Structure 1
Amino acid sequence: MSPPISRSPRSVVHGFAFPRTAPREGQSLQTELGTALYPLLQLLGQLLKVPLVYLELAQPGSDPHSSSKGILYRDPQGIPAGEPFNLNASPGAEQWPFHESFLLQTEQGIRLADLHLLDCHPRQLSSFEREQIDLVALSLKHILLQAQEHRQTLEQLQSQLQDSRSTAARYQQIFENAVEGIFQTTLEGKYLVANPALAHIFGYESPEDLMHNVSDIGTQIYSDPEQRAEFIQRMLREGQVVNFEHQVCCKDGRLIWISLNARTIYSDQGDPLYFEGFVTDITASRQLKERQQQLEEARRESEHRFLQLVENTQQLFWITTVYSKELIYVSPACEAIWGRSAEEAYANPQAWIRQIHPDDRWLFPTILKAQSEGKSTDVVFRIYHTDGRLIWLRERTFPIADKEGKIYRVAGIVEDITESKQLEAERRRIEQAWQQSANHFRQIFELAPNGIALVDLQGRFIQVNDAFAQIVGYTPEELKHRQQLDILHPEDVNPLLEANEALLAGKVSVSQRQIRYTHRSGQVVHVLFQATLLTDEEGQPTQFLNQVIDISARVEAEIALKESEERFRQSFEWAPIAKAMTHVDGTYLQINAAFTETLGYTLEDLKGKTVLDITHPDDIATTLENSNRLLAGQVHQCEQEQRYIHKNGQIVYAILRITLVRTAQGDPSYFLSQILDITERKQAEAALRQSELSLRGIFQQSALGISIVDHRGHYLKVNPALEEILGYSAAELTHMSFCDLTHPEDIQEDWQLFQEVLNGQRDRYHLEKRYIHRSGKVVWCRLAVSAVRDPEGKNLFIIGICEDITEEKRAKLQIQAALQEKEVLLREIHHRVKNNLQIISSLLRLQADQIKSRKYARVFKDAGSRIQAMSLIHEGLYQSNNLAAVDLKQYLHNLISNLFHSYGVNPESIRANIRAEGIRLNLDDAVLCGLIINELVTNSLKYAFPKGRSGEIEIHFSQTRKYTQLRVSDNGVGLPPNFDFKETQSLGLQLVATLTDQLQGKIQLRSKPGTTFIITFPRSEP
Structure 2
Amino acid sequence: MNKFKFNHQVKITISGVKKMGKKAESSLTPDHVIKNWEELKDYMQKGYPADEKREQVFEDLYHMVRLMCDNVPDMIWAKDRDKKFIFTNRAIAEKLLNARDTMEALGKTDMYFANRERSLHPENKKWHTFGEICTDSDEFVLKTEKPGRFDEFGNVKGEFLFLDVHKAPFRDEKGEIIGTVGCARDVTREKEIEKNLTESEKLFHSLIDNMLDAVIILDFEGSILFANRAAFELVDIDPRTPLQGFHVKDFALGQSMMDIENHQQMVKEDKFGFLGNYQIKDKYGQVKWVEGLGRKIEFQGKVANLVNLRDITPRKKAEEELKNREKLLEGVARMNHILINSPNLKAAIQDSLEEIGSATRIDRAYIFKNHVEESTGRLLTSHWMEWTNGQVEAQLYNNDLQNIPYEKLSPDLITNFTQKKPFYSLSRDLDSYTHEIVEKQGILSLLLVPVLVQDKLWGFIGFDNCTQERNWKEYELTILKTAADSIGSALDRYDFEKALTESENKSKKLIKAIPDMMLVISKEGFIQDYSPKNPELMSIPEKEIVGSNISQMGLSPADLEQILKMIKTTLITNTLETIEYALDVPAGNRYFEARFIKLNEDNVLSIIRDITGRVRDGEMIKSSLEEKDILLREIHHRVKNNMQIISSLMNLQIKYENSPEAINILKESQGRVKSMAMVHEKLYKSKSFSMINFKDYLTRLVSDILYTYDLISHIDWKLDMDEIKITMDLAIPLGLIIHEMVSNSAKYAFKKDENGRIDISMKMVDDRFFLRVADNGVGIPEDIEWGETDTLGLHLIDALVKQIDGVIKLDNSQGTSYEIIFPPMSYVNRG
Larger relative contact order (CA 8 Å, sep ≥ 6): 2
Q: Could you tell me the TM-score, scaled by structure 1's length?
A: 0.29
Q: Could you tell me the TM-score, scaled by structure 2's length?
A: 0.35
